[in-house]
Amino acid sequence: MALSNIEKHYNKHPEDLRLLRRHGIVEFETTMHHLHRFLQTGQTMLDIGAGTGRYTSALMAEGYSVKAVELVRRNIDVFLKREPTADVVQGDARNMPFIPTASADVTLLLGPLYHLIGDGEKLKALNEARRVTKPGGIIFVAYLMNEYSILTYCFDEERIGDFLARGIVDKDYHLHVQEGELYDYVRLEDIDRLNAKAGLERVTIFSPDGAADYMRTRLNQMSDETFAHFIEYQKCISERPDLIGAGSHVVDVVRCPEAPKQSAADDNL
């Protein structure tokens, strides 16, 4: 079977190393900080698009029951080599018939929407995450941000003129990537539109990395003490509305609708 673009990418760029580098550590620590705000003892979790399982491993170490789903076989192999007792299955975030409906208290969707192009494909993953999460449960949804891509790939790599001419970037400097591309990028209004279509209610939204991806070289040069302060700084400012869209990622924390209450009349039917 031919490998998808996603599989080719993760076979070439080891995901396991990303969250161990300083810019990735900022993202990981900030996301865990917010996860701990919502997790309760005894809850069941799903990690959809688990990569090599860094979040699953950390949550397992804290005593949570976590089932992981990952598309890329190589990532699963790396995951199981490090965490041989993990419950991980290969699957696509858009269609997970092997996961029972309303089976998770908290669901992580921290990677799949990076690679799903357009509202239609993203909504398949959001609707499936909603299906497998209990009514009233929480979903953490990660997105790649438009402005990070415009600044780093379009301007820094001198591609902006070509992309404007080809309509890949519109007059408002919003990227419109084509089917078959590896990544898709959004703005906050795009996320709002997806939530409305999926029937999901925002609890909070935060930037897990802020300026970290712009500061990779500088982060690597910081003393351990200064870097520790940077992590705490990012945790502190991660929900500021004036900064959320400027980083490379956001994580939208949304709640599934509560099940409608059954009336006495319904009970008598």
Q: What is the model's pLDDT at position 14?
A: 63
- Give the angle subtended at the CA of 17 by the CAs of 11 and 20, to the nearest 5°: 160
Q: What is the model's pLDDT at position 1?
A: 43
Instruction: Tell me the two tokens of residue 199.
Output: 């029937």
Q: What is the model's pLDDT at position 9?
A: 67
Q: Is the pLDDT of residue 195 over 50?
A: yes
Q: What does the pLDDT look like over 233-259, one tens digit per residue?
A: 999 999 999 999 989 999 999 999 987
Categorize the per-residue pLDDT at 262 as very low, low, confident or very high, splitting at 50, 70 and 90: low
Q: Is the pLDDT of residue 102 over 60?
A: yes
Q: Is the pLDDT of residue 203 over 60?
A: yes
* Fold category of 5-145+186-256 in CATH: Rossmann fold (3.40.50)
Measured CA to CA, the distance from residue 168 to residue 180 in angstroms comes to 13
Q: What is the mean pLDDT of residues 31-38?
A: 97
Q: What does the pLDDT look like over 54-97, one tens digit per residue?
A: 999 999 999 999 999 999 999 999 999 999 999 999 999 999 99
Q: Is the pLDDT of residue 11 over 90?
A: no
Query: Which amino acid, residue 87?
Result: D
Using DSSP bridges, classify how beta strands 104-109 and 87-90 pair: parallel, antiparallel or unpaired: unpaired
Q: Is the pLDDT of residue 264 over 70?
A: no
Of 72, 128, 136, which is closest to residue 100 (Cα–Cα)?
128
- pTM, two decimals, is 0.91
Q: What is the model's pLDDT at position 181?
A: 87
Categorize the per-residue pLDDT at 178 as very low, low, confident or very high, splitting at 50, 70 and 90: confident
Q: What is the model's pLDDT at position 266?
A: 52
Q: What does the pLDDT look like over 108-123, one tens digit per residue?
A: 999 999 999 999 999 9
Q: What is the model's pLDDT at position 21?
A: 86
